[in-house]
Chain A
Amino acid sequence: MADEKRAASDPLKNAEPNPRLTEFSKSPEPWAEMAKMEWGGDRTHASTIQTLIMDADVSQYPTFEKKLLAVLADQQATAAAQDFVCRMLRLVGSAAGVPALAKLLADEKTADCARYALQAIPGAEADTALRAALGALKGKAKAGLIGTLSARGDKEALAAIKACVPEGGEVGDAAALAVATLGGAQ
């Protein structure tokens, strides 16, 4: 029993904390442990969080999204943790998470990870962030981004995607396919 819950008449009230008892009560904090996860390491804590999120009521999604975004903001969070967080944001992410994901999207090293979440988040905020990244990304990352815009059926991005066709290579191929999908003239 926590000391503050003891009745005034309890002889243990205000007694010196017993180190043995305080050691017993210690437990890893899954969110902090998840942020340190590495490829190949124990992913038990991430699984605990995944279960919580998948079991959650819709009303609890904003709370979980906030906790996930806090891990994304943690400079010490590992690449494996970022990957896991984005997979969870795919499930419960909203417009509130878009600014943080947009930062990841602008960096080709983390752009894929950001799209795992952003592709699933509906709404104008995500559309705008994805379109804006067209000007920042190059090469493979840009081709992947075009695939996401196309998968979302974003016809407002059509003109910008068309303009990418002449780039050729992977970007040109992705753009040509997206233009065909989004209904542009071939």
Chain B
Amino acid sequence: MNQLNRRNFIKLSTLAAGAATIMPSKLFGAEAPSKQITFGFVGTGNMGSSNIDRVLRLKKLGARIVAVCDVDKFFRERAAARIKKVYGDTGCKLVSGDFRELTRNPEIDALVVSTPDHWHALIALDALRHGKDVFCEKPLTHSIREGQALVAALRQYNRVGQTGTMQRSDGSFRYVADVIQQGALGKLDHIDILIPANNKYVGATWTPEAVPEGLDYDFWIGPAPFAPYAKQRTHYQFRYIMDYAGGQTTNWGAHYIDIAQWALSMDKSGPVAVEGSGEFPTTGLFTAPTRVDFTATYASGVKLRVKTRTDGIYDGSVKFFGEKGWMDVSRTKLKASDDALLTIGGGPVKEKSEGGDASGLAHMTNFIACIRSRERCVADFAIGHRTTTICNLGNIAMQLRRPLTWDPDKEEFLGDQQANRMKERAYRAPWALV
């Protein structure tokens, strides 16, 4: 632990005074101490709840949840009660509204971040700086600058980081990426990605409301610009407000652009140009695009087009077009221009799981395996950062409505002041990135 870390932990120890002490994992009994990995969860709502379920189901791998944090008391207490019920004991001893009580607690090995997007980077960074391995939901970060900082910290502190893009752990997606990488479609020409339309709506104006009891709203806003509370600002629907997320561009784009990047073997790079013409609400609480349409062009000439689908299906899809045919994959389908493309090497090997969520479980399993092996995860933060960057490039291009040139090595736009200034945001005090 360096001096900074020691300092912060001393401060945190004061902060945590009075909170229940987490017992060292070896005292929990059932598993051998060397095999137990203690988990803390920050954000216990929507995806946090799914991730808790995954880790609870992976008890046999030595995963043990010992702490939960949520700025909403209702959610954190509900999560703690659920965990205690499953473990059948008084586990999960730390139930907190301040993530720093988890990130700076030496008894926690790994942190799962499932908060709204505007908090991802700051919480994950604090965890990395204090020696935690981190599973962070997608989109990995809210800005390009945050992604760069997160990848740098991951390497600097030699930690394991998994992005929550669990399609990387799904047999169908893995199969498509593999066979395209091996040339099954020949030279690729273009890729079409469909993402769902928004599934929540608001009117042209909104009324500031009283903050509900139990929600620490100031902490919820955190690094984002201040705005008065409104119900539709927080749980789930935060994703349609650009101060906290990037709309469906980043919500679903993070999954399906990720598969395109994988198949293109571009995990360490990205496109060289982007342009778009989306539609954004001109009034009302929501500010994220209601219609997404942008195209990113790679140096190879491959064009990746991302569009909002209009058929009401709440899933995405990615369709690859090459000189030898096409392949189209989503969570519910795998099609190709020729059936022979679907059976290469015996076809996809799908994960199996009693109780469902096979790819989600496989993704968390990979994280746990990498915590033990110290190898990089299948969706290492560097991979998640490059995918999230394309989502952000798309949103920036759609807002600026002009073609932009991107240098994927320097990670900067060429000759566009506004676009470059949109790569990062200043934070509301007292929060800081670096």
The residues of A with any CB-CB pair to B shorter than 8 Å are: 39-44, 47-48, 54-55, 58, 61, 83, 87, 90-92, 111-113, 115-116, 118-120, 139-148, 150-151, 168, 170-171, 173-174, 176-178, 180-181, 186
B204 touches A42 (CB 8 A): yes
The residues of B with any CB-CB pair to A shorter than 8 Å are: 2-4, 7-8, 11, 145, 204-208, 225-228, 230, 280, 282-285, 399-402, 417-418, 421-422, 424-434
A144 touches B434 (CB 8 A): no
Q: A146-B432, A147-B429 are in contact. List 14 more A-B contacts (CB 8 A).
A: A40-B207, A42-B205, A44-B283, A47-B280, A47-B283, A91-B418, A91-B421, A111-B429, A112-B426, A116-B425, A143-B429, A170-B430, A171-B430, A177-B432
A119 touches B429 (CB 8 A): no
How long is the Cα–Cα vector from A48 to B205 in the complex, in angstroms?
Answer: 16
Q: Is the interface of B mostly helix, strand, loop or mixed?
A: loop
Q: Report chain B residues within 8 Å CB of A91.
A: 417-418, 421-422
28 contacts between A and B (CB under 8 A): A40-B205, A40-B285, A42-B204, A43-B284, A48-B282, A54-B401, A90-B421, A91-B418, A92-B417, A112-B225, A116-B425, A116-B426, A119-B426, A141-B430, A143-B429, A144-B428, A144-B429, A144-B430, A147-B426, A147-B431, A148-B426, A150-B434, A151-B145, A151-B424, A151-B432, A170-B430, A177-B434, A178-B434
Chain B residue, CB-CB nearest to A119: B426
Q: Give A186 Cβ to nearest chain B Cβ, in Å.
A: 5
Chain B residue, CB-CB nearest to A186: B3
Name the 8 nearest CB pairs between A and B, nearest first. A147-B432, A144-B429, A143-B430, A47-B282, A119-B426, A170-B430, A140-B430, A181-B434
How long is the Cα–Cα vector from A173 to B400 in the complex, in angstroms?
Answer: 37
How long is the Cα–Cα vector from A142 to B205 in the complex, in angstroms?
Answer: 34
Q: Give B301 Cβ to nearest chain A Cβ, in Å.
A: 28
Chain A residue, CB-CB nearest to B226: A112
Known: A41-B205, A111-B429, A150-B434. A54 touches B417 (CB 8 A): no
